[in-house]
Amino acid sequence: MIVILKPKTPKEQVEEVIDEVAKLGYKPHPIYGELQTVVAAIGDERTHHTLESLIVLPQVERVMPVQKRYKLASRESQDGDTVVDVDGVRIGNGHFALMAGPCSVESEEQLLSTARAVKARGAQILRGGAYKPRTSPYEFQGLGKEGLRLLDVARRETGLKIITEVLSERDVELVGDTADILQIGARNAQNYRLLIECARSRKPVLLKRGMSERIEEWLLAAEYLLANGNPNVLLCERGIRTFETYTRNTLDLAAVAIAKKESHLPVIVDPSQGCGRADLVRVLCRGAVAMGADGLLIEVHPHPAEALSDGQQQVDFEVFSRLVEDLPPFLAAASRTLA
Ligand code: PEP
Ligand code: MN
């Protein structure tokens, strides 16, 4: 931390700041300028008491952190990119993952036909919500346990790995029995009890960015998973809420580039929640790959018009085919390979 004192602060007031810095567990290093004094506080800011409260002293002009608040999620903590191994499907460090399937698991026919279609077109991982976080309590809430059973049937038949959302810390064990990847949704992005419980499961976790979550907060949420012993973390950009009304959310592709720069963790893009419009999913997939994403999470439905959730943003098999056919030059340009 750097503590900047106001110009012409008398010596005894500088001493007061130095004493406070030492009291809070840091080694103070005063730097006396002609006009202004700066006190560098040496110590690990991530685990020490924060010095930001020193701003209440009248002689303090500003307190500036030097270190990032996340440690394990940061590139500083590890050389090279993390590879998350999802039961044999590797994601990260050049390995690109295609995850696709319906927003919600609705029926055996709907799920299995989608699983077969996305597998035939190159997906390695099947998505499908059994427990749905719906804005209204009157909307379809998911099939629950029956949805998990159907996901299991789809895995056995197709060999696809399964990603599905866990809504509550009470369900982590149950959902983890079926899921190869636990999805933490945007609405739970900062539910720290749930994050800790998912970390304990040691299952790979896909952590969505909250709809009004800053990148730093998103990385700190990932830090909860890492600090609680689970290194298998996938970050997922799924759009943030802005003033724009042409899209459901604003897909923040700059956040993908920033997350890749700041963190060694793989970054997945969900263009479906990201814009809320089926007609834009295809171009957003190209954009996401070009920006350096390590995977895509795409909503695909046999008859989007009949979907029980998010029908407006789900692509049909035809559009999914075309979207996948688009990807090779973008993957090559980003040095990614689809297993
Ligand atoms: C979903 O993937 O269907 C979903 C509910 O996602 P999000 O948490 O990003 O809204
Ligand atoms: Mn959805």
Confidence at residue 295, expressed as pLDDT on a 0 to 100 scale? 98
Of ligand 1's listed atoms, the one at least distance from the Cα of 184 is: 8
Which ligand is located closest to the Cα atom of residue 129?
1
Rounded mean pLDDT, 256-276: 98
Query: Which phi-psi region, left, alpha or beta, contains residue 93 (left: φ > 0; alpha: ψ -120 to 50)?
Result: left
Q: Using CA atoms, how far apart are residues 141 and 149, in angstroms rounded to an integer?
A: 16
On the question of pLDDT at 47 being above 80, the answer is no
Give residues (CB < 6 A) around ligand 1.
103, 129, 133, 185-187, 208, 238, 270, 273
Pick the CATH number of 2-64 from 3.40.710.10, 3.30.70.1140, 3.40.50.300, 3.30.200.20: 3.30.70.1140
Q: Given a cut of 80, is residue 49 above it in pLDDT?
A: no
CATH number listed for the domain at residues 75-338: 3.20.20.70
Same fold, 2-64 and 75-338: no
Backbone angles phi, psi at 37, to 5 degrees: -110, 140
- Taking CA atoms, 271 is separated from 9, 96, 239, 284, 328, in Å, by 54, 16, 8, 6, 18
Rg (CA), the chain: 23
pLDDT tens sequence across 50-77 = 899 999 999 999 999 888 889 999 999 9
Calculate the average pLDDT of the chain: 96
Counting Cβ atoms within 10 Å, is residue 277 exposed (0-12), middle (13-18) or buried (19+)?
middle
Q: For the whole model, what pTM was predicted? A: 0.94
Distance between terminal CA atoms of the chain?
A: 45
Mutate to test the pocket of ligand 1, among 273, 281, 310, 312 (most ligand atoms within 8 A of CB): 273
Distance 104 CA to ligand 1 centre (A): 10
Categorize the per-residue pLDDT at 44 as very low, low, confident or very high, splitting at 50, 70 and 90.
confident
Tell me the mean pLDDT in the region 254-269.
98
For residue 56, the Cα-to-chain-centroid distance in whole angstroms is 35
Per the model's pLDDT, the better-predicted residue between 195 and 47 turns out to be 195
Domains of the chain, by residue range, sit at 2-64, 75-338
Query: For the residues of 293-336, what is the DSSP string, one character each?
Result: -SEEEEEB-SSGGG-SS-GGG-B-HHHHHHHHHHHHHHHHHTT-
Residue 106's alpha-carbon distances to 63, 206, 235, in angstroms, are 53, 22, 26
Nearest to 86 by CA among 158, 157, 160, 150: 160
Residue 263 three-state SS: strand
